[in-house]
Amino acid sequence: MGFTFEVEKPDETCSARAGVMRTAHGDIPTPLFAPVGTQATVKTLTPDELIEIGTTLILANTYHLYLRPGADIIARLGGLHQFMGWSGPILTDSGGFQVFSLEGLRRVSEEGVLFRSHIDGSEHFFSPEKTIEIQEKLGADIIMAFDECADPMDYDYNKLALERTHRWAERCLRAHTRTDQALFGILQGGIFPELRRKSAEFLTSLGFPGYAIGGLSVGEPKEKTWETLDITVPLLPTDAPRYLMGVGAPEDLFEGVERGIDLFDCALPTRLARNGAVFTSRGRINLRKAEFAEDSAPIEEVCECYTCRRFSRAYLRHLLKAREILGLRLNTIHNVHFLTNLVRRIRESILDDSFSALKREFLSQYVPVADDTEQRIKGLARRRARSKQEGTR
């Protein structure tokens, strides 16, 4: 069965919409938050735990799985679904983002990117054709075109990278042979309206079944992220899903949905959980803090996740302090549940015309954390320094 997408209900007051993506491994209701399973595992969680949480789509990472254990091994073992014991839908990214984020990047050419493995320093080459071949071997339901990720604030680099990304998108389409996988295109163009328009125009002319908005949430100021979406999303066809890559902070999910985004992914909930930071409806708290040492309440009274049904903040804090593995698992269960459930409520609110009310109500209580932005800016500074050093232009 091929991939289809249907908008069930557009919101009447903004660009939000509820829909469903149908794949060979099941339906994906949208809007949706997908947890990241870089190494074919959502860190610390079993597939059954993800099913209990309500996860319907997992992201896996082409770059990492190509290096270890290798796409051929996974293919011989029956493909990624069988290999990781997850029978629901999977999305693989193309590896572009990782390759362009690597320390010691070697060379970008029209043909592709020569890079060194972060594991053993060995040299590898990714071309559009190669990343499609790997993704076909892995066998995810949704696969991504290979794109060049530029510093979103650098006009000259984006102009060049955009044209290459477009030529690479055409090559990905030509290389793609599996009809049971949907190949999504990725728009680039940084924060520059003219380039975003060009990217939308070109990629939609190729007719992808879905479009990702790449090159955002990598260090640009948030207002620029939303301005760029305001310009870009209306240029995309209404009957194809729109995917905002790398966004997962609760307040940002509302902003994205309001502008017509259907799909999000982010490593934030799992990464934070392993550091002891958990989401609540009032904002994030860190369970390592002394104030939770004798706190008998769950992370959140109203939360229906396994962790909140069974355990106190005091116990979770103790597990973190004692470096017990269970603590990482329990915190991850809560965080993935929190975002999955939040987006499920957002979807329901679109269906019953209460999206704006839910957004108002949620944001009146939730206090965002500034350090996410700081992290993004640090990441951007690192990337800038590297691209200058290596002369990747």
Q: Which stretch binds Zn ion (CB under 5 A): 2-10, 62-70, 128-136, 333-341?
A: 333-341
* 265 flagged as catalytic: yes
Token pair, residue 97, equals: 């983002």
CB crowding 162-175: b at 16 or more within 10 Å, else e: bbbbbebbebbbeb
d(CA 262, CA 168): 24
Measured in whole angstroms, the distance separating CA 196 from the mean position of its chain's CA atoms is 20
**Contact status, residue 366 vs residue 283, Cβ threshold 8 Å:** yes
In the bound state with Zn ion, the residue whose beta carbon lies nearer, of 232 and 335, is 335
Query: Nearest approach, Cβ of 339 to Zn ion (angstroms)?
Result: 11
In the bound state with Zn ion, the residue whose beta carbon lies nearer, of 240 and 330, is 330
3-state secondary structure of 300: coil
Q: Maximum CA pair distance of the chain?
A: 60
CA atoms within 13 A on the CB side of 292: 23
In the bound state with Zn ion, the residue whose beta carbon lies nearer, of 51 and 73, is 51
In the bound state with Zn ion, the residue whose beta carbon lies nearer, of 216 and 308, is 308
* 156 flagged as catalytic: no
Query: Nearest approach, Cβ of 303 to Zn ion (angstroms)?
Result: 3
Going residue by residue from 20 to 39, which x/- string records binding to Zn ion, judged by CB under 5 A? --------------------
Contacting residue, 162, 191, 203, 308, with Zn ion by CB under 5 A:
308
- Packing angle, helices 155-175 and 193-206, rounded to 10: 10
CB crowding 122-158: b at 16 or more within 10 Å, else e: eebebbbbbbbbbbbbbbbbbbbbbbbbbbbbbeebb
In the bound state with Zn ion, the residue whose beta carbon lies nearer, of 30 and 331, is 331
Q: Which stretch binds Zn ion (CB under 5 A): 76-84, 193-201, 299-307, 310-318?
A: 299-307
Contacting residue, 40, 42, 303, 346, with Zn ion by CB under 5 A:
303
In the bound state with Zn ion, the residue whose beta carbon lies nearer, of 305 and 319, is 305
For residue 334, state whether it binds Zn ion (rule: CB under 5 A).
yes
Place of tokens 């794109």: 147
Query: Nearest approach, Cβ of 331 to Zn ion (angstroms)?
Result: 9
Query: Nearest approach, Cβ of 280 to Zn ion (angstroms)?
Result: 9
Of the candidates 11, 147, 265, 372, the residue annotated as catalytic is: 265
Contacting residue, 229, 263, 305, 319, with Zn ion by CB under 5 A:
305
Q: Which stretch binds Zn ion (CB under 5 A): 57-65, 182-190, 211-219, 296-304?
A: 296-304
- Count of residues that interact with Zn ion, criterion CB under 5 A: 5
Burial of 377: CB neighbours in 10 Å, binned 0-12, 13-18, 19+: middle
Of the candidates 11, 93, 147, 154, the residue annotated as catalytic is: 93
Place of tokens 């305001």: 230
Q: What is the 3-state secondary structure (H, E, C) of 54-122?
A: CCCCEEEEHHHHHHCCCHHHHHHCCCHHHHHCCCCCEEEECCHHHHHHCCCCCEECCCCEEEECCCCCC
Single-letter amino acid, residue 48: D
Query: Nearest approach, Cβ of 279 to Zn ion (angstroms)?
Result: 9
Query: Nearest approach, Cβ of 131 to Zn ion (angstroms)?
Result: 37
Q: Where in the sequence numbering do the catalytic residues fall?
A: 93, 265
Interacting residue ranges for Zn ion, rule: CB under 5 A:
303, 305, 307-308, 334
